[in-house]
Each structure stands twice: as structure tokens, then as C-alpha cells.
Chains A and B, each alone.
Chain A
Amino acid sequence: MPSVCFYFQVHQPFRLRHYTVFDKSGNYFDEFKNASICRKVANKCYLPSNRLLLKMIRRYEGRFKVSFSITGVVIEQFQKYCPEVISTFDALAETGCVEFIAETYYHSLSFLYSRNEFFEQIQKHIELMQKLWGQTPRIFRNTELIYNNQLAETIEAMNQFDAVITEGADRILGHRNANFVYRPPNCKHLKLLLKNYSLSDDIAFRFSNRGWEEWPLDAPKFARWIDQINGCGHTVNLFMDYETFGEHQWEDTGIFDFMYHLPEYILRHPDNNFMTPSEVVRTYPVMDVVDVPHVISWADMERDLSAWLGNAMQSNALHEVYKMEKLVKQTQDPQIIEDWRKLLTSDHFYYMCTKYFSDGDVHKYFNPYESPYDSYINYMNVLNHLRERCKQVLTQQTVSEQAS
């Protein structure tokens, strides 16, 4: 009786503009580029996919359900550049078949560097979900599914969440599979939902790969794979980037048709159904404890932090930006704080990754830079300017204090 649990990640960073050491302006972000990418992806993916999901939810009369994690930074961009996307999410929220998941508002790595900032960003994101769609998320996913035991403990201590989502990496599961609800060690009520990376990636990465032995993948075939889980799993967690639909896999690959017909075939088996993460957590018991002493993520083959922390530039940039937290918050200048927070978005560090650079591979998706080195230089120039701004504001404040 596997329940199929879809969760889609929606995110676009505020990309920086070209910023040299000679630039002295406080405009760090590339309005034009961000607007055009946002509109482009909206037209290719967000809008058609949302319309499709709406159609499916209506067609299956509440039996088809999905969940989303939508970052604060992408919502800000929707509001600014294509508000119609928000309207379609509104419509989805009203169906009652869509659950919204919490994460850090700025899609940041703050869990690793500043607990304080981590909590603030989660609260900010929860408030946004409440304001927009009247939902208080009960499920948490950390940026890029970065996770370890400590994250689970931290989340449980917040007393706001029922479960955490992370990658079903082989090395944490051992002989077990990802199709059950688990529990982190040292946690009393918090549960763990693990991504079935094999079936998720069949859709997200391999769907249009003609070299793949299973190509072409159609709904009956995928439903058969789901049926096969019957007896050795409660839930199939299909977690992927929402951009899979129409952007990573173009419309002409048939991805939308695949999706539209999928529920039909999955629901043919009477034991199958669709659930949101909260329903999965409510319905199924914890089967075992999964111990994750080391940090995992859903990135690349390594499924570790090396995409953001793999070289000296990345660790330096991260270290420098979090070192500024105190200074930034001292200024109490909302613009400075917002700019700084937008710099925390993990994509900035992803662009600095040298791992696959020579092969010209994966990390290319809407990467505005020609090389990881260019991205580091740009980032550090912006950071230096922001630091100067902070100092300037603080000196002005002390001067005016002394004067009064």
C-alpha cells in the first residue's frame, strides 16, 4: 500500500550583478537578469505546471495531492516580476490538496554557521506561508536537504514541526530502504521522511535521457514500479526541483503528459494513494531509527557539502559573510540586513564550485558566471562594499549619539 508523496522545491536566487572592486553603488543584484530568468522559468515551468496540477487535482477529486517548499526569495521575485505565478499557487492552496513545507526564507546554509540566523529565517518563512496561504507548515526541509542528527535535534527543540525531510542516501540507510517513516536518534516525536532518490531521479534527471535503458518512461511503467513496492514500503517520497517540469525536462519530452496520466495508473491499484508529507507522518508508524552523524545533502553524486564547501574560496566566502552577522544586525538598517541575507543564499556558493568545472557539467543551470573564480571575485567585492556600508552607518550613529 505505498502512498506516493510528491514534494516540489521552488527556488530562484537573487543573482548578483557584475560588481568590480571599483563599483561604489549599493545595488548588488541584477534586476534585469533576475526578472528575465524568473519570467522565462515562469512561462516554461511554474505557470504550465501549476495549471496542470490544478487540473489534476480537480480531475481526481481530492485523491491527487502534492506539497511544495517555496523559498522566500523566489516568492519575492514572483511578486515583483510575475505576480500571476502567485495567483496560481493561491488557486492550488485553495484546493486543500496542497501542503506547504517550511525552510529557511533565504535558502541559506545558516544551520551550519549561525543558529540565530537559522531560527530567524525559518520564522520569517513560516510567517510568509501563513500570510499567503493561511498554512502553518508542520514539516521542515533544510536547504538542499542538508541534514544530520544535530539538525533533527535542533528542529525538534523548536517544537513546531512533526517531521524533517532529507535525502535517502545509501550510506545512512544501509540495508533499509527509504520507503518508510523513520526517526532520528535522540528525538522523541520528530519523524524523518527520506527521498527515494532512485525513483525521484528517474523523473527529474533520466526522464528524457535516450541512453537510459528504460527510456521512454511512461505513466504505466512508472506506476508498475510503484506497485512493486507494495509490501516493502509505506510511502514513496518523490522529491525534486519543480523546474523539472518544463525547464530541466522540456515540454516536448512529454513530461507534462507523463505527469497528467500518472495518477490514473497509480490509482488503478486499490492499495495505492497520494499523500502529503503531513498525512504520511500521521498515517504511518516509525519503523526504525536512522543515525546520521555526518552531514548529508541531495547534491551531486557525493551527497555531501562539497558543492558549497569544496574549495578554499567557498569556505572563505561563507566564513566572511557569516562573520559579518553581528555588524550587519548592529546597524538595524533594514536595507543592509536584507541585502546581507540575500547574500546568504546557497546558490552564490554553488557558483564557486570547482568540482565539475573542467568537465563543464551540472552546475551550469542559470549560473550567471563564466567561471567559479569570477563568481568568487564578484561575491567578495560585494561583501567588501557591504562591510563598508555597515561601518559607515555605525559611525554615523555614534556621531549622532554623541551630538545628542
Chain B
Amino acid sequence: MKVFMLGWEFPPYISGGLGTACHGLTKALSDLGVKITFVLPKPIETQTPTHVQMLTPQHCRASKTVTQTTETSQELKNVQFHTVSSPLQPYTTPQQYQKRLEEIIRQKQLLSSQSQQMLDQWLEQEIEGLSVGPGQYSGDMYTEVHRYAAAAVRLALQQEFDVIHAHDWMTYPAGIAVAAVTGKPLVVHVHSTEFDRSGEHVNQMIYDIERRGIHAAAKVIAVSYLTRNILMTRYGALGEKIEVIYNGVEPEDSNRISAQQVGIRSDEKIVLFLGRITMQKGPEYFLMAARKVLEEMENVKFVMAGSGDMMHRIIEMAAQMGIGHKVLFTGFLRGEDVNRVYQMADLYVMPSVSEPFGIAPLEALNHDVPVIISKQSGVAEVLTHVLKVDFWDIQEMANKIIAVLKYPPLQMTLREHGNFEVRKLKWSGAAKKCLKVYQEVTQVAV
């Protein structure tokens, strides 16, 4: 089985769970002998890693190269990486964009007339959409997403594969285009939806892209039943088309905690928030719970690791609440720093307002840290040995935080069972299900 996989981020250049998930999944698929061509925009290092930031054109180094094959790493032996730099200049006009694309398509002589027609239709729609709906910042993202699509199509024409696998909305147009050009089945993998990221204030353009991708796909993979429900109710997707495949976590070497690091710990308890500081992740609920906890307990510190568009507001909020000295902000953490912060933590809290899955709690459990997660998360469907609260229920969140800090037997039992449970959630299981999806769609296509 050969897969043409379209991604947006990959470790170490990640801003969130998507990169981690792509890494875990491709590794496990590769172990199953699946050959993967992974297409990725050129990695761009940024300080404030949100998807929006990554997409802004000033960060994109325009270059003439269309594709560039990177070295295949040891552990991903069946994965070939292609990074796509901008094939077009930033702020390309739709006309230029179309011209360029047409040129790309002309290179492929073997195009069937049918797929040619589909492609034309698609292009028409895309360009129409661009001229009609100029959102505040949609121009940048839109161009970038389609630049990526164009490059992906060009790359796809040089590759042999059986199925196309696109991760999240940024890659859907590319997925649709590649499917149209090559006639191969498209699998769309929904790691999050616009409703998770933006609540009810959805960006219409992104929603449209998502909807089109979901409807164009032969099969949709959702990371949880929570997400599946959103796809059915908000995007009008058919239930039987959607396969739920939970994310996994890579087994952690538990011997890595050195005694020295543990020795550094003071007698203060540490409660950890780790994630983007954005509306979706519910940072303000974390703070409000923290204030309630501090009414009852003195020796607690609240660490907020991450960055995002709500960061300044949250810092101000902590100060206004008079708990500024108890809340520490670390900024965005990577690699070894993430491990270190987990090792310091007595408790990890994920108060997400809407979380399609949530890999971080699995990582916390992997590091022997007990976990409180919001009931509004996909991961709540798979984890039983964790504490669950409604994200808005500050009182209950504080109640549970205090209980974990105050009662060692609770911490002990959560840790013991949680760590055991998380070991069962491996990427290999997800990859097997994924392979089954590939087999289904390719059979139908033949």
C-alpha cells in the first residue's frame, strides 16, 4: 500500500497535536510496511506557533524550487518526505494562480478527460470563492493553502500511490486536487474542526473548505465520536462514511526521570496547563479554578505552558484576580522542556472547551502525572482512569484539583491505573485501523 499523505506540520516543527499525531501515525504505518510520501510545507520556525502565524506570507521564503526531497530518517523507514516551498509568489492574483495551475496540469499528458473536467470545476469554484469572500486575513491563508495544493498536484504527478490521505483543512484542497488529477481515492483525516477552534464564530472560508473536503472524500477519519457527531450535525456528513480512529501515544521510557531532577522539587505542588493559550483550550477556566483552589490551599503553583492569542489577556486576568504570583507562564515548550515540565507536575489539567481528541493528557499519563480532562474532549471517550469535569464547572474543577493534591492515595491510584491504561493506546492500533480504511477505499475505487 502506497500513500500520498498531505500534512501541515511535523516534529520538531509543531504547534500542537497535529504534528505529533502525524508523526505517531506515519511511524506506525511505516512499521506495518505502508509506503508513505509525506508532503509538508517548508518548515518555518516561529516563536508564536499557531497555525495562523505559520501561514503568514512574510514568513514564507519564496523560492523557485517546487519540491525538495528530504532525507528519510531511520525510524520512519517507509516514509519519504517532501517539503513544498512556495511555487507561487505570495499574494498571487487568482488569475496568475490559475494560469500556473493550468500549466502544471498540462504537464501531465495522461489525464483522463473526466478528471480534467473535475479539476476545471474545482478550480472554478476555488477562484470564485476567492474573489467573493475576502475575509480579513483569508487572503494569506487562502493563497498559501492553494499554493500548497498546486505544488502537491505537481508532486503527485511524479509519484506512484494508491490512496491520498489529507490531514485537516489546510490540506483538503490539495487532497481534492490530487484526487481529481489522479483519480485515486481521498481519505480525509479530521483532527479538529472550525467549530472546535472558533466556537460559534466560524470562519466561513475555512468551514467551506472543510465541508468540501469531507464531502469529496471517499472516507473520513475522525479522531473521536465527539468529532464524528460534529461532522454529522454541522457538516452534513453521513455517519457510515466516518470512521473513528483514536490517536495513540508513543510508549515513554519511564527510566528517564533522573533523581536529580526530582530532587529539585520544592514542597510546593504544581498544577500544569499545557496547550495553546487560545479560546479552544479554556485557559480562563483554568485560572478561575486556580483562584478557587488558592482559597483553600496555600502551597500550590499553577504553571501555564504554551502560547497563543489569548496569552496577554490571561496574564492580565491572573494579575487582576490577585493570583499573579501563583501562576507561572513558560511560553511555548518543546522537546526536553516538555518532559521536564511533566516531571515537575503533580497534576495536569486540560479544561478544553472543545477538544476533538487531546493527545497531551496521554503524554501526561505517560509521564506518571494524574490528569483532569474536560468532558468536552474526545480523549474522555477512551480514558477511564482520569478525573473528568465540565469545562465550565469551575467549582468542581477546583474540588478535584484540591482532592488530587490533598489525598495521596487518589494520586497514587490514578497514576497506577492511568499509566497502565495509556499503554494500551498505541499508535500501532490506530495504524491498523487506518490501513483497513485504505483497503476499503482502494477496493471500492477498483
Contacts and interface: CB of A to CB of B under 8 A. Distances in A.
Interface of A: 20-22, 311-313, 315-317, 354, 357-358, 360, 370-371, 373-374, 376-377, 380-381
A380 B411 CA distance: 14
Given A371-B387, A376-B403, A376-B409, 19 more contacts: A21-B398, A21-B403, A22-B296, A22-B395, A312-B413, A313-B410, A354-B385, A357-B384, A357-B385, A358-B417, A360-B384, A373-B387, A374-B387, A376-B407, A377-B399, A377-B400, A377-B403, A377-B407, A381-B403
B262 interface: no
Interface string B412-432: 111011000100000000000
Given A371-B388, A381-B403, A22 B410 contact: no
Contact of B402 (A21, A311, A316): A21
Most buried by A among B388, B396, B399, B402: B399
28 contacts: A20-B396, A21-B399, A21-B402, A21-B403, A21-B406, A22-B398, A311-B413, A312-B409, A312-B412, A312-B413, A313-B413, A315-B409, A317-B409, A354-B413, A357-B384, A358-B417, A371-B387, A371-B388, A373-B387, A373-B410, A373-B414, A376-B409, A376-B413, A377-B387, A377-B400, A377-B410, A380-B403, A380-B406
B116 to A, nearest CB: 53
Given A312-B412, A374-B387, A354 B417 contact: yes
A54 B323 CA distance: 67
B402 to A, nearest CB: 5
Interface in B267-295: 292
B413 A373 contact: yes
A170 to B, nearest CB: 29
B384 A376 contact: no
B331 to A, nearest CB: 32
A376 to B, nearest CB: 6
Contacts of B410: 313, 373, 376-377, 380
Nearest to B389: A374
A371 B418 CA distance: 13
A317 B385 CA distance: 18
A315 B413 CA distance: 11
Nearest to A357: B384
A370 B388 CA distance: 9
B399 A358 contact: no
Given A313-B409, A377-B410, A358 B402 contact: no
Interface of B: 292, 296, 384-385, 387-388, 395-396, 398-400, 402-403, 406-407, 409-410, 412-414, 416-417, 421
A22 B417 contact: no
A377 B403 CA distance: 6
Nearest to B375: A370
B421 A358 contact: yes
Given A312-B412, A354-B413, A380 B292 contact: no
B413 A20 contact: no
Interface of B is mostly: helix
Most buried by A among B296, B384, B421: B384
Contact of A358 (B384, B388, B398, B403): B384
Given A373-B410, A373-B413, A376-B407, A381 B387 contact: no
Contacts of B421: 358
B412 to A, nearest CB: 5
Contacts of A22: 292, 296, 395, 398-399
Nearest to B297: A21
Nearest to A23: B399
A376 B417 CA distance: 15
Contacts of B407: 313, 316, 376-377, 380
Contacts of A357: 384-385
Contacts of B413: 311-313, 354, 373, 376
Nearest to A20: B399
Ordered nearest first, which 3 A-B pairs have the shortest CB separation?
A312-B409, A20-B399, A316-B409
Given A373-B413, A377-B403, A20 B384 contact: no
A363 B237 CA distance: 37
A353 to B, nearest CB: 11
Contacts of B398: 20-22
Nearest to A310: B413
Give the residue among B296, B398, B402, B407 with the most A Cβ atoms within 10 A.
Answer: B407
- Of A20, A373, A377, most B-chain CB atoms within 10 Å: A373
B425 to A, nearest CB: 12
Contacts of B402: 21
Contacts of B384: 357-358, 360, 371
A358 B412 contact: no
A354 B386 CA distance: 12
Contacts of B292: 22
B296 A21 contact: yes
A392 to B, nearest CB: 18
Contacts of A312: 409, 412-413, 416
A317 B413 CA distance: 13
Given A313-B413, A380-B407, A20 B395 contact: yes
Contacts of B416: 312
A252 to B, nearest CB: 31
A336 B325 CA distance: 40
A311 B417 CA distance: 10
Nearest to B396: A20
A23 to B, nearest CB: 9
